[in-house]
Amino acid sequence: MASEPSSGHTNLYRFVRRWLANPPGHHHHHLRRSASTGISTTYPARIIPRCPTSPPSSAQDGGGGRERLRDATMVLDVEGALLRSSSPSSSTFFPYLMLVAVEAGSFLRGFILLCVHLAASCLAPLLPEEARLRATVMACFFGLQERKVARVARATLPKHFLEDVGMEGHEAARAAKRVVAVSRAIPRVLVRPFLEDYLGFDAVVGREVKVVRGFYVGLLGKMMGEGRLGLEEDLDDGAPADMVGFGSGSGCSSSHGHHHLFSRCKEIYLVTPEEKRKWSPLPRDQYPKPLIFHDGRLAFRPTPEATLAMFLWLPFSLPLTIFRTFIFVTLPYPISVAIGSIAGVRTRVINPPVSNNTTTTPTGHAKPGDHQQPDDDRPKNTTGRLYVCNHRTLLDPIYISAMLNKKVSAVTYSVSRLTEWISPIPTIRLTRDRDEDRRRMERALQRGDLVVCPEGTTCREPYLLRFSPLSLELVDEVHLVALVNWSGMFYGNSTGRCKWLDSFYYFMNPRPAYDVQFMEKMPTRMVVDGKTCESKHVANMVQGEIGRVLGFECTKFTREKKYLALAGNKGVVDANQ
């Protein structure tokens, strides 16, 4: 049974509730500001100039380390103590605003935001940091739909935040019992999904952007958080003596960085800019939640310099993508691949087939010493080869066809009519009706070779989604192909409404690249320990073999789960787009 709250708990509850309920300025006379750090505090807080998990440099720094944080509630400055690239300047949050401007708006909005940022930077000696922040937020948010911004915050920004998290700051936050994150500059709507869903923080406090009837007006409001909905309860179990602050010495003294939650901390750890520059990025294998799905067109971190380079490249990329698409659609493969390499499209084939222009009837024999195949229940009348590959972009079957130097067919699902029309190879549209899809693929195999992507959707990260077993039931053996691609500026896949632009975006990259690796064929009719393997088990084996060659991790995620996570639908695209 829960015990009655102590007096310390009650005082903390009343303080947080009073602070969050009062307008800014109504409680400032209760606070005392530290002259050296700029942090307001009602207690004689002990300022410790180091990371909480770093060894103390002197006896005065205090000790305890992880043991001290084990039962503590940490008030964490997101920009100052979590993100590596943070600084007091507006360049800290510019990449995230640019992602919102481009992904939820357009490239025109992104260009306007870049111009506003450059102008504000030039006027930095005349304009305070708060004015520059409000100007860039206005240029980013004005007129955007609330639901579009929420989708970008959920599907696009977590990847860029994770790549910017410092390993040392994350270790300190993970050592604490509870974490209340305070975002001084980045609007709360952008940072909250990442901090709660990926890092598991208990509460997020940040500045809100005004919304009127579902559209942002771009006005930056006051600090808001989970307080009126439960922040008091989140902090109620932690007495003031158990609250620890963690921030940056330079960031906490900025003009917009008055963190009143720090006033309840008896100890405040401040990381110095010199120490923070030595922080390491958080390794992928230490992510609290694996980053498997993410969306958005921009494949780079849009810093002001990188964004300027992108806009300088755009006028050249538009005619270049049309030229690259034209040569791959109209010219024979040997000529198109050669011209494409001159135009910057790099293609590498590994273990090319010995004979590309012949088809063979499946032999039905497994490798000696591996598995055995049953002699009954074999598919009939299949003359073509079935190529099974992982799915990176819509161009996967075209690259396989080019490396084979012959026409093959490819199955598609929920792609636009324009994509099918410009495809240089025949396409077979699936319906997601198992019996009908089986008949369509059988007819395609009777006419020739067929390429199938059993994942059903693309995956950008080094993961493989669950393989559908349907295509493996049609033949006695499959030819495995492992694919890897690189996009330095734009992603060639998406979950948005303009999927018909996917291949064009891929060819807009300065130097797009593909690796096509042909693997040994694999039987689909196997007997292991005297039992015939079901098709779903064979699909798992095929997935595991391709994952082993690529070094990718196999998952059980499906197309439906991906689209529900990123787009809020099941991935059905209007064919007329």
Cα gap 219→141, rounded to integer Å? 8
Say whether pLDDT at 165 is over 80.
Answer: yes
Closest to 69 measured CA to CA, from 185, 222, 175, 215: 175
- Tens digit of pLDDT for each residue in 471-510? 999 999 999 999 999 999 999 999 877 888 999 999 999 9
Measured between its terminal Cα atoms, the distance across the chain in Å is 60
Say whether pLDDT at 38 is over 50.
Answer: no
Predicted local distance difference test score (pLDDT) of residue 574: 52
**How far, in whole angstroms, is CA 308 from its chain's centroid?**
22
Say whether pLDDT at 158 is over 60.
Answer: yes
Cα gap 567→359, rounded to integer Å? 41
Per-residue tokens: 511: 């130097």
Predicted local distance difference test score (pLDDT) of residue 562: 94
Alpha carbon dihedral 202, 206, 209, 210, in 10-degree steps, equals: 80
Stronger pLDDT, 340 or 71, i.e. the higher one: 340
Give me the percent of the chain exceeding a pLDDT of 90. Answer: 59
Q: 19-33, 89-103, 130-144, 553-567 — which is least confidently predicted?
A: 19-33
Predicted local distance difference test score (pLDDT) of residue 72: 86
Fill in the DSSP letter of residue 49.
Answer: -
Question: Hey, what long-range contacts does 52-59 have (CB within 8 A, 24 or more apart)?
Answer: 52/172, 52/175, 52/244, 52/246, 52/269, 53/168, 53/171, 53/172, 53/175, 54/168, 54/275
Cα gap 451→478, rounded to integer Å? 10
Say whether pLDDT at 249 is over 80.
Answer: no
Half-sphere exposure of 468 (CA within 13 A, CB side): 18
Q: Which amino acid belongs to residue 66?
A: R
Burial class (CB in 10 A: 0-12, 13-18, 19+), 44: exposed
Please state the rounded mean pLDDT for residues 90-102.
Answer: 89
pLDDT class of 470 with cuts at 50, 70, 90: very high
Please state the rounded mean pLDDT for residues 64-78.
Answer: 81
In the predicted model, what is the mean pLDDT of the chain? 82
- Tens digit of pLDDT for each residue in 263-299? 778 888 888 888 888 899 999 999 999 999 999 999 9
Predicted local distance difference test score (pLDDT) of residue 26: 40
Say whether pLDDT at 226 is over 90.
Answer: no
Say whether pLDDT at 216 is over 50.
Answer: yes
Contact partners, residue 542, CB within 8 Å, separation at least 6: 388, 454, 467, 472, 478, 480, 522
Cα gap 501→509, rounded to integer Å? 13
Crossing angle for the helix pair 157-164 and 146-155, nearest 10 degrees?
40
Q: Which amino acid belongs to residue 338?
A: A
Cα gap 276→512, rounded to integer Å? 34
pLDDT class of 57 with cuts at 50, 70, 90: low
Per-residue tokens: 528: 């292991």
Say whether pLDDT at 340 is over 50.
Answer: yes
pLDDT class of 86 with cuts at 50, 70, 90: low
Predicted local distance difference test score (pLDDT) of residue 367: 42
Contact partners, residue 272, CB within 8 Å, separation at least 6: 49, 50, 248, 249
Burial class (CB in 10 A: 0-12, 13-18, 19+), 485: buried
CB 397 within 8 A of CB 426: no
Closest to 68 measured CA to CA, from 243, 190, 199: 243
Predicted local distance difference test score (pLDDT) of residue 212: 95
Predicted local distance difference test score (pLDDT) of residue 464: 97
Q: Are strands 386-389 and 450-452 parallel, antiparallel or unpaired?
A: parallel
CB 227 within 8 A of CB 148: no
pLDDT class of 14 with cuts at 50, 70, 90: very low
Please state the rounded mean pLDDT for residues 376-399.
Answer: 81
What domains can be seen in the chain, in order of their start residue? 44-54+64-221+237-286 (3.40.50), 304-353+382-567 (3.40.1130)
Q: Which amino acid belongs to residue 532?
A: T
Cα gap 452→364, rounded to integer Å? 20
Strand partners, 245: 75, 268
Predicted local distance difference test score (pLDDT) of residue 25: 39
Say whether pLDDT at 358 is over 80.
Answer: no
